[in-house]
Amino acid sequence: MNIIITGLITGSMLALLAISFSLIFGVARIVNIAHTAFYMVAAYCIFSLTGKFGLNPVAGMMIAVVVVTVLGLLAYKFLIDPIREHEAAVLIATIALAMIFQEAVMLIFTGDYRTVSALIEGYFIVTGVKVFYQQVLTFGVVLVILGILWVLLMKTKLGLAIRSTAEDREVANLMGMNDSRLAMITMGISVALAGFTGAVLAPLTVLSPYMWMEPLIMMMAVVVLGGLGSIKGSFVAAYILGFTEALVVFMIPKGAFLKGSVALSIMILVLLLRPEGLFGISFEEER
Amino acid sequence: MLLEIAHLTVRYEKAVLINDLNLYVDTGELVSLVGPNGAGKSTTLRAISGLVAWEREIKRRSAGSEIVLEGTVTFNGERIDQIPAHEIVQRGLVLCPERRRPFREMTVLENLLAGAYLQKDRQKCRETLDKVYDLFPLLRHRSHQIAGTLSGGEQQMLAIGRAFMSDPKLLCIDEPSTGLAPLIRQEVFEKISEISRLGITILLVEQEVSVIFKMASRNYVLSSGKILAQGTGQQLLADEVLRKTYLGL
Ligand SMILES: Nc1ncnc2c1ncn2[C@@H]1O[C@H](COP(=O)(O)OP(=O)(O)OP(=O)(O)O)[C@@H](O)[C@H]1O
Ligand SMILES: [Mg+2]
């Protein structure tokens, strides 16, 4: 039971992170290493807004997401956009950005571990296992956001433009889609989702300036397993990895320290056996 | 004149792809642009639809090879050579690109709706969609099929249908018959004639000279980035040298 709950929550969180990461990669070929650093910033935002300023947690969440989105758009405009066509440079710039966030958080909040109080306290017991209301809430909210994202991508004009640009940027231009503008919008959505993940997860985790690294590796593993650029792939792979991680942690005594290595092993295996991932498209057709 | 290209030159680094090209298309015409492989036919269409300028911007940002684009393109009385690709469509110059390039992961209907991206008026969009479905009944039957699973001929119909959804005044089509079986080719040409009869001006790039010369009101022969000759099919075919050397007939 614990495995299922942890697996579901980790899986959903990874799904949100991996899908939002894939989104901006697909549209603008931006590999945003700082993606999970935005997630960290959101968590710390909540921590200071609710803890220090005594704000209502929901309001804190909203503000955190807005702050992170604005930060993301600024970073895009002034750091990423000028070098957007240079894939290696973008990689390095976003690593630097993640480091900057990490050091900034370190300076402001010190390296001490922090916690954010749950939105709703308490738990109920199913088959002898404690299920915290906060866990259920986080899971539910993440599902709702995934649903909204699906509707946005599949049912709206903006979603159509985002998918078209991701598939063939040149042809998308021929239909009147402005790829620069769409890259900017997608960056906003992508970072907002990262921030949102940080916000809903904050009460369930321990905050530290290094908290972006582990989910980054897990997220990369999900993206590799699911196939770069495939949203369906990211979704399925996220739950596979979420459950694998939960299994390792609960089945192997003191298995928690193995979490990262499982993700890395899966990533290496997939790269060796099936480089295009579960649902990925091979890149042969690209020019 | 609906389209007028004057002194168009396109260079990639040192390579001259288009060299001082002049070409015009009048409203209602079906004009063909033919020539051997690598003549610069696609580059011409890409230049007028803004893709060369778009690519130049990307190359400039990535410090890649340099692209030079000179000359003027006038469409409907307005200079469009300085306008970004995504705004040129809005003015009614639409390109159906080489190798069809449907959005392979999306459904037929989604592809068509992508073509109508700039159409704000839902009612008008529906009407155009109906027109496309009347023109290509198979697209109506396949509307929920994933585009990547269509046959080559069907993908070509989809690509033309998608371009039609952009409400073109001038429809540029790049090699629609390449790689298709003879019967399907014929069908594609019939559809293009039909679109022409609807009053839409067409600039067509093709390899199938014998068929095209019968359809087009005027033709341009392009080789190594230069216009070698222009005229009606009959006029061009009367030139022995041209016929043997450049048209392969
Ligand atoms: N991106 C590019 N960089 C450099 N040279 C290019 C590029 N694209 C095309 N060329 C060259 O420019 C020339 C003209 O190409 P273009 O595609 O316009 O010819 P085409 O007439 O359409 O030929 P085809 O019948 O094969 O489609 C060719 O020699 C091609 O090799
Ligand atoms: Mg060509």
Structure confidence by residue, pLDDT tens digits, B136-160: 999 999 999 999 999 999 999 999 9
Query: Which member of B51, B86, B104 has the closest CB to residue A167?
Result: B104
Q: Please determine, for residue A282, whether its predicted confidence score (pLDDT) is greater than 60.
A: no
Tell me which of A254 and A238 has the higher pLDDT: A238
- Across A111-115, A123-127, B85-89, which has the greatest mean pLDDT? B85-89
How far is C-alpha B48 from the chain's CA centre? 10
> Is A221 part of any domain?
no
Residues A131-151: what's their mean pLDDT? Answer: 92
Residue A60 domain-assigned (yes or no): yes
Task: Determine, yes or no, domain membership for A63.
Answer: yes
CA of B165 to the centre of ligand 1 (A): 27
What mean pLDDT do residues A194-220 have?
A: 92
Instruction: State the smallest CA–CA distance between residue B95 and chain A in angstroms.
Output: 7
* pLDDT, position A284: 41
Q: Which domain covers residue A181, as residue numbers?
A: 11-211
State yes or no: pLDDT of A145 exceeds 90.
yes
For all residues of chain A together, what is the average pLDDT? 89
- C-alpha distances in Å from residue A219, one per residue of A222, A272, B84: 5, 18, 36
- Give the residue-averaged pLDDT of A224-231: 82
Subunit contact B118:A175, Cβ cutoff 8 A: yes
pLDDT tens for A73-106 read 999 999 999 999 888 999 999 999 999 999 999 9
Residues whose CB is less than 8 angstroms from the CB of residue A213 and which lie 6 or more positions away in sequence, other chains included: A36
pLDDT class of A283 with cuts at 50, 70, 90: very low
Q: What is the DSSP string of B51-118?
A: HHHHHHHHHHHTT-S-EEEEEEEEETTEE-TTS-HHHHGGGTEEEE-TT----TTSBHHHHHHHHTTT
In chain B, which residues have pLDDT < 50?
none
Q: What is the pLDDT of residue B146?
A: 96
The model's pTM: 0.93
What percentage of chain A carries pLDDT values higher than 90?
54
CB atoms A86 and B61 under 8 Å: yes
How far is B72 from B69, CA to CA, in rounded Å? Answer: 9
Contacts of A160 in chain B (CB under 8 A): 106, 110, 113-114, 117
Query: Which pLDDT belongs to residue A71?
Result: 97
Residue A267 has pLDDT above 90, yes or no: no
Residue of B42, B203, B222 with the most ligand 1 atoms within 8 Å of its CB, for mutation: B42
Q: DSSP E strands: which ranges in chain B?
A: 3-12, 15-25, 30-34, 67-75, 78-79, 93-96, 170-174, 201-205, 218-223, 226-231
Length, in residues, of chain A? 287
Cβ contacts (< 8 Å) between A281 and chain B: which residues?
Answer: 105
Kindly report the backbone phi and psi dihedral angles of residue A254, in degrees, each rounded to the nearest multiple of 5, phi listed first: 55, 35
Cα(B176) to centroid of ligand 2, in Å?
10
Percent of chain A with pLDDT over 70: 97
Instruction: State the average pLDDT over residues A258-263.
Output: 78
Would the pLDDT of A287 be above 50? no
Distance CA B227, CA B146 (A): 40
- B40 alpha carbon, distance to own chain's centre: 13
Domain boundaries, chain B: 99-167
CA B189, B193, B194, B199 dihedral sign is positive
The band of A274, judged by pLDDT with boundaries at 50, 70 and 90, is confident
Total structural domains within chain A: 1
Residue A3 lies in a domain: no
Q: What is the pLDDT of residue A273?
A: 85
C-alpha distance across the termini of chain B, in Å: 31
For residue B172, give every residue at least 6 positions away whose Cβ sits within 8 Å of its Cβ, in sequence order, or none.
B45, B48, B49, B93, B94, B95, B96, B202, B203, B204, B205
Between the CA of A150 and the centroid of ligand 2 the distance, in Å, is 37
> In b/e form, how buried is each residue of A111-136, taking b as 16+ CB within 10 angstroms?
eeebebebbeeeeeeeeeeebbebbb
Q: Is residue A27 in some structural domain? A: yes
Atom nearest to B205 CA in ligand 1 = 22
What is the predicted pLDDT for the residue at A257? 76
Position A286 confidence tier, pLDDT thresholds 50, 70, 90:
very low
The answer, yes or no, to whether residue A162 has pLDDT greater than 60, is: yes
CA distances from A20 to A146, A152, A238, B61 (A): 10, 13, 12, 25
Record: contact A85-B49, CB cut-off 8 A: no
SS3 B22: strand
pLDDT at res. A280: 67
> What is the token pair recorded at A85?
């066509």
pLDDT at A134 over 70: yes
Q: Which member of A85, A167, A171 has the closest CB to residue B105?
A: A167
In the predicted structure, residue A285 carries a pLDDT above the cut 50: no
CB-based contact B70:B7 (threshold 8 Å) = yes
User: Does pLDDT of A258 surpass 80?
Assistant: no
Residues of chain A in contact with residue B163, where contact means CB-CB under 8 angstroms, are 174
pLDDT confidence band for A281 (50 / 70 / 90): low
pLDDT for residue A2: 79
Question: For residue A174, is pLDDT > 90?
Answer: yes
